[in-house]
Amino acid sequence: MTGNTQKLSIRLLKDGLEPKDGARDGVDLEAWDKLEGALIVLDTMGGAAPKWSKFLELSDEQKKKVYNNTAFGLVFIPAAGRWFAVSFGMGHVKLDPTKFEQDFGLRIVLNSVDPNQLKSADVRTPDENTLSRRSQTSRGSDQTAFLIDVERDIVRGLAGTPKDKNFASRVAGTDSLSMDRKVTVADLPAVCTETLASYQKDDYKEHFSWIDQIKHVRENEIIENLNAAAVAVIDAALKGSEPEGLHLAFPVIYDPEKSNQLRYKGFRSSQIYPDLDLDGYLEALQERGKTDYGLDDFGSHTVHEVDDEGRDCGGKWKISECLVCEVEHDGRTYVLSGGRWYEVESDLAKQVQEFFEKLDRYELPDAKAEENEQKYNARLKVEEPDLLCLDAQLVKPTGSATTIEVCDFLSKDNRLIHIKDKTSSSRLSHLFSQGTVSGRVLILDGPCRDKTRVKVGAIQAQTGQTGFETIICADGEDFRPQDFTVVYAVIGTGETPKLPFFSMITLRQAARELKALGYSYEFAWIKKPAAVGVKKKKATKSDEDDEVIEEALDA
């Protein structure tokens, strides 16, 4: 092929659909005489002054000088028995993304890229606190440079240099394929045919086989069943049940410096909320008198960025795109993230569950219905003299800008006990990280051990406890991690311990790190009865412990 290097953005229409199905309402496609059977639309968007012109109090004449107009082009090309959409400028916004093959571009990149020449990765971790990140390197690197956690991360996009330079000089892929290639208009059908051939290969299994551990679900029948299961969980939460494996998270990489607030729409709610939060959504539903939740709500409710007056001023997303939900269906584990369902590979799910079930257990007293972590620790501090409470006793490691808790309780049999309330949002990952960070500090930082010993002495003086002062050795002495056991304790309702799948993965990774450091590790399930007759309160960002009083469960 000849021609100049052109950036192409290509999408594959789902099999059986026509261009009119893939274009949004108002897009008038016309026959294009450059390519047989092709359709085209050319237009501009905008034609108005930007919002900041009002702030600057510009006159009408001044506003005309800053009018926004954006040109776009969109071409539908038939090739290899399928329809492809090639967009230019902002043409992609005129497409209905639900009508195109998902992960089309990503699969092509995985099959075609040089595994040592990756340049960027978009990754999403659907944990309790969903993390989205984009990593870029200044030069081509292998996948290890992007710190992809192959057991937890969902790769949404990759970019790099292909092995075959004739295919493209650069490829990047998500649902669409972006490629830089020398090409003429007449070459477009052949290019589309090549992309389809690459999409259908399984070459990726040589270097990226791990990507199938968490697979995107595409079968409509399964998706319908999973959506129904998610709706049932939300409906139960609306009626007062504690939502298992259900959270809200932005489906995009969201700028935390935005001052915009949020409003839930689709059911006439006027409430404004400072952040995306499941409690806020449920509260908004309840305030509008919603007592039942159905598939229509799941598909029609939205989240909007709004100003102080509640007016739209930014992005908007479907609730189904913001929900992070974990369900079991036909013996398999599925996770909803970013509006898509993912199936956890059976062997991985089995391995993680078996690890959790075989964990050595440590017994701690049950919690009371009204107790959160803070109240539980305060009671244990008084009732268990063989446990020294170090909760909120912060020390600063040498050279660090932040402080840590060495543990919540130190036992006379050398256990470092860390406790978190499972009902507190996004705290399980913090719990598991807390144990490994503390473990490393105790080994490497003698001065920090001395600070901890001072804290221990002061607490013993207050409580009258004795025998804890020598458990953690001083700076200059040999700290032996093999003499210590790290205990992860979770306060939760129910007789049987149950953690979200991705939290169990995080726990397993923390246990592996502790083992490498020389520690033993255990897990404790602190049983707590469901609260009755207490209304759930919204937690605030300043509430470090995320104190949450559980909403009453129907008897």
pLDDT in tens, 85-103: 999 998 999 999 889 998 9
DSSP 187: G
DSSP 176: S
Quick check: 183 and 192 in contact, CB under 8 A?
A: no
* Choice among 218-227, 235-244, 253-262 with the minimum mean pLDDT: 253-262
pLDDT in tens, 72-84: 999 999 999 999 9
Q: What is the mean pLDDT of the chain?
A: 88
Residue 495 sits at φ, ψ, to 5 deg, of -75, -30
Whether residues 169 and 287 fall in one domain: no
Taking CA atoms, 343 is separated from 109, 218, 348, 479, in Å, by 21, 10, 11, 43
Whether residues 238 and 135 fall in one domain: no
Q: How confident is the model at residue 257 (pLDDT cuts 50, 70, 90)?
A: low
Residues whose CB falls within 8 Å of the CB of residue 526, separated by 6 or more in sequence, listed in order: 364, 365, 366, 367, 376, 419, 489, 490, 491, 492
525 or 333, higher pLDDT: 525
Q: Which residue is associated with the tokens 């109090």? A: 57
- What does the alpha-carbon distance between residue 221 and residue 364 come to, in Å, rounded to a whole number? 45
Both tokens assigned to 2: 């000849």
- What does the alpha-carbon distance between residue 458 and residue 438 come to, in Å, rounded to a whole number? 20
In a domain, residue 549? The reply is no
Q: Does position 128 have pLDDT exceeding 70, yes or no?
A: no
Whether residues 330 and 381 fall in one domain: no
Q: What is the pLDDT of residue 258?
A: 61
* Burial of residue 399, with CB atoms counted within 10 A of its CB: 0-12 exposed, 13-18 middle, 19 or more buried: exposed
Q: What are 441's strand-pairing partners? A: none
Please state the domain count of the chain.
Answer: 3
- What does the alpha-carbon distance between residue 5 and residue 11 come to, in Å, rounded to a whole number? 19
Taking CA atoms, 125 is separated from 63, 411, 435, 460, in Å, by 43, 34, 21, 42
Q: Would strands 387-389 and 409-411 be described as parallel, antiparallel, or unpaired? A: antiparallel
Instruction: Give the 3-state secondary structure of residue 316.
Output: strand
Whether residues 162 and 272 fall in one domain: no
In a domain, residue 476? The reply is yes
Q: How confident is the model at residue 253 (pLDDT cuts 50, 70, 90)?
A: low
- What does the alpha-carbon distance between residue 507 and residue 175 come to, in Å, rounded to a whole number? 32
Both tokens assigned to 429: 């990952």
Whether residues 195 and 256 fall in one domain: no
Whether residues 245 and 360 fall in one domain: no
Q: Does position 333 have pLDDT exceeding 90, yes or no?
A: no
Both tokens assigned to 482: 């093999």
- What does the alpha-carbon distance between residue 468 and residue 457 come to, in Å, rounded to a whole number? 8
What is the distance in angstroms between the CA of the first residue and the CA of the last residue of the chain? Answer: 72
Q: What is the pLDDT averaged over residues 220-231?
A: 93
Which region holds residue 464: left if phi is over 0, alpha if psi is between -120 and 50, else beta?
Answer: left
In a domain, residue 536? The reply is no
In a domain, residue 552? The reply is no
Whether residues 368 and 491 fall in one domain: yes
- What does the alpha-carbon distance between residue 233 and residue 246 come to, in Å, rounded to a whole number? 8
Q: What is the pLDDT averaged over residues 271-279?
A: 85
Residue 363 sits at φ, ψ, to 5 deg, of -95, 130
If one counts every other C-beta atom within 10 angstroms of the C-beta of residue 127, the result is 23
Q: What is the pLDDT averaged over residues 214-218?
A: 82
Q: How confident is the model at residue 550 (pLDDT cuts 50, 70, 90)?
A: very low
Residues whose CB falls within 8 Å of the CB of residue 446, separated by 6 or more in sequence, listed in order: 474, 475, 476, 477, 479
Domain span at residue 300 reads 220-344
In a domain, residue 236? The reply is yes
554 or 145, higher pLDDT: 145
In a domain, residue 545? The reply is no
Whether residues 194 and 111 fall in one domain: yes
Quick check: 397 and 448 in contact, CB under 8 A?
A: yes
Quick check: 285 and 293 in contact, CB under 8 A?
A: yes
In a domain, residue 555? The reply is no
Q: What is the pLDDT of residue 183?
A: 94
Residues whose CB falls within 8 Å of the CB of residue 256, separated by 6 or more in sequence, listed in order: none
Q: How confident is the model at residue 208 (pLDDT cuts 50, 70, 90)?
A: very high
Q: Does position 202 have pLDDT exceeding 90, yes or no?
A: yes
375 or 543, higher pLDDT: 375
Q: What is the pLDDT of residue 536?
A: 35
In a domain, residue 547? The reply is no
Whether residues 185 and 44 fall in one domain: yes
Instruction: Give the 3-state secondary structure of residue 96.
Output: coil
- What does the alpha-carbon distance between residue 467 and residue 457 come to, in Å, rounded to a whole number? 10
